[in-house]
A and B are shown apart, each in its own frame.
Chain A
Amino acid sequence: MQNQEEALHADTALLRIAAMLRTDKKAAFGAVVIAIFILVALLANAVSPYDPYKIDLANRLGPMSAKHLAGTDSFGRDVLSRIFYGARISLVIGLLPSIIAILIGTALGLVSGYYGGFIDFIIMRLADIVLAFPSLLLALVIMYSLGVSLLNLFIALAVINWGVTARTVRAQTLSLREKEFVEAARACGVSDLAIMFRHILPNCIPTLLVILTLDIPEAILSEATLSFLGVGAEPPTASWGLMVSENKQFLFSQPWVAIAPGIAVLLLVISFNFLGDGLRDALDPFMSE
């Protein structure tokens, strides 16, 4: 009996996520799709049927066929292979800057909300500045002033995204700070840093996951947009945004060349949203009855 009880409650975050994936079909779908994309990105050179950069002018704008499953683009390159290689950029661009932005935003939001006063004022005005500019415009400005490169794209995407996190975490900290369990910790002499990391941060995690699942698709889309506008990845790099951009004039005549990478963006973005929803529920202790 006692062992059963213990087994029942010795749950870890990992076990709960596993249980969630078994029951939540949408989240499971998201996880599978993301896993496939990750595999494809890692093994792009093995799974791609053709070299994504190999130009074959004889086969320009070829339709979908057994040879070229997603057709060929205006240079005769295999679209499917380019999508496989493009997954690398999209995943890295989606994950890295978003995670950096979340880390920066969380740290600043915690400090801002917990201490208040002058520090809070400064951090929030900085966040206001970032939020006041249209994010794409800000990214364009950063890219123009730093120069077009993948690293600078990371920086630009991280800078435009930390403000929302900081504001959200601050708001949550303000309300959590007043909770009696935080007061109890202070009454026990627990240090400020420990209160922030043990009592406040873990209770912000469901919100942070939601932000992350919104930020990742947004970063993927921003990359696509910036590449489309010509300040992201540079040709001939295989990037989904760039592929849509390069082939946009064929949208009505040979639609597959632009639509196929579009579908890849859509699939990845939806998958992150589904998985994020599931994770949030699984990590929320109130939902695990």
Chain B
Amino acid sequence: MSNLAFVKADSLVKEFSIKPEGISFMRAASVQAVSGVSFEINRGETFALVGESGCGKSTIGRLSIGLLKPTSGSVYIDGIELGSLSGSDMKRMRSKMQIIFQDPYSSLNPRMRALEIVAEPLLAHKVYSSRAQAMQESMHLLEMCGISSSLASRYAHQFSGGQRQRIGIARALALRPQYIVCDEPVSALDVSIQSQIINLLVELQEMLQLSYMFISHDLSVVRYISDRVCVMFLGKVCEIGNTNEIFGSPRHPYTKLLLEAVPKADPTQRKDKDVLLGDMPSPINPPSGCRFHTRCPYKKGICSELEPALEIKGDRSVACHFPFS
């Protein structure tokens, strides 16, 4: 299994300091956004990170491509540890891993044309000897992502949200990466456009043998697109496993309640569901023991005292004292 892994994250921890800018007399406090997360992503696989806001999923995505440096722990891409690379080696490494963003409005520079946006990585890495060749390749990438060449000289804001997302995808593909982090790529799009982009991502994956990390809070989309899922709560992994197994028989109470909370587009399935109690606890001051215990309807005494370890059983891991079987 692990010899297939293209991305490997080992006990990643990321702390952000929350002190005001400049020189101040306040003691620097820090928030642990990611607390000891390990996972592997195989070649050609779609690995989904699921969780609610503040669970650390976007931070993990950025850690996994070296856009952020972990406080401790390491990321290996194709067997090479990112932390060990020098500046120029890192730049070369960047062409193997890319990212697609959530917000199609802030992810493209409003003062650049579509063609220039997609050509920029090619020019920065001097992939082609001439600018004209880079532009030609950029045109080709745009067409591959469904943007007709007649639109290539438009500015980013002259496109619709879905088209902008296609441009973002074309840019991510420019350096022929093998691994792409998709950070909520369809959550800002209209329903009728979402499926266009999902289909495009799936087609590109098949064509180019890409590995995806698919970050999303939309469980229906994750269910559709991913091979394996990692459910996170407040910087920790609740459960990792095969998508069908996790959705079919969730073992962690959070996974189960998250699945139940999704409104189903079928009025015949209406039922009075158990809703998850209370609010997300603060990451500045996480609950003792199991971080989920304050919201868990199934908690017992031990849950508030002892943090459950991630119990690994074959391809399925769960961190709960009393998992469902």
**Which residues in A have some Cβ–Cβ distance to B below 8 Å?**
2, 5-6, 9-10, 116, 120-121, 179-181, 183-191, 194, 198-199, 202-203, 285-286, 288-289
Contact = CB atoms under 8 A, between A and B. Distances in A.
A189 B87 CA distance: 10
Nearest to A202: B111
Interface of B: 21-23, 62, 65, 67, 90-91, 94-95, 97-99, 101-103, 106-112, 120-121, 124-125, 150-151, 153-158, 168, 171-172, 174-175
Nearest to A179: B106
Contacts, number: 84
B16 to A, nearest CB: 13
B109 A181 contact: yes
Listed from nearest, the 10 A-B pairs whose CB atoms lie closest are A188-B121, A180-B107, A189-B94, A189-B91, A202-B111, A180-B101, A181-B109, A190-B124, A180-B106, A2-B150
A105 B316 CA distance: 57
Contacts of A288: 155
Nearest to A194: B124
A199 B67 contact: no
B154 A189 contact: no
B124 A191 contact: yes
- Of A2, A187, A288, which is in contact with the most chain B CB atoms at under 10 Å from its CB? A187
A78 to B, nearest CB: 49
Given A5-B151, A188-B171, A189-B94, A285 B124 contact: no
Contacts of A120: 22
A203 B95 contact: no
A6 B101 contact: no
A26 B148 CA distance: 39
A181 B109 CA distance: 6
Nearest to B103: A180
Q: Please indicate which of the listed interface residues A116, A183, A199 has the most CB atoms of chain B within 10 Å of its own CB.
A: A183
Contacts of B101: 180, 183-184
Given A180-B101, A202-B111, A187 B67 contact: yes
A184 B95 contact: no
A286 B111 contact: no
B153 A185 contact: no
A188 B175 contact: yes
A5 B150 contact: yes
B157 A286 contact: yes
Highest count of chain B CB atoms <10 Å: which of A2, A116, A188: A188
Contacts of B107: 179-181, 184
Contacts of B155: 9, 285, 288
A199 B106 CA distance: 12
Nearest to A200: B109
Given A120-B22, A188-B120, A286-B157, 13 more contacts: A2-B150, A9-B155, A116-B21, A180-B106, A181-B106, A184-B101, A185-B120, A187-B67, A188-B124, A189-B95, A189-B121, A202-B111, A285-B110
Contacts of A191: 124
Nearest to B171: A184
Contacts of B62: 183
A118 B303 CA distance: 45
Contacts of A187: 65, 67, 94, 97-99
Nearest to B98: A187
A180 to B, nearest CB: 4
B153 A9 contact: yes
Contacts of A190: 120-121, 124
A190 B154 CA distance: 22
B321 to A, nearest CB: 39
A202 to B, nearest CB: 4
Nearest to A1: B150
A183 B171 CA distance: 13
Contacts of A185: 120, 124
6 contacts: A2-B150, A180-B107, A183-B67, A188-B175, A202-B109, A286-B157
Contacts of A189: 90-91, 94-95, 121, 124-125
A185 B108 CA distance: 10
B157 A121 contact: no
Contacts of A183: 62, 67, 99, 101
A202 B97 CA distance: 27
Contacts of A194: 124
Contacts of A121: 22-23
Nearest to B158: A9
A167 B99 CA distance: 32
Nearest to A203: B111
Contacts of A188: 94, 98, 120-121, 124-125, 171, 174-175
Contacts of B172: 184
Q: In the complex, which of the residues A191, A199, A285 has the most CB atoms of chain B within 10 Å of its own CB atom?
A: A285
Contacts of A186: 67
B205 to A, nearest CB: 19
A167 to B, nearest CB: 14
A184 B99 CA distance: 7
Contacts of B112: 198
Given A190-B121, A191-B124, A203-B110, A285 B157 contact: yes
B24 to A, nearest CB: 12
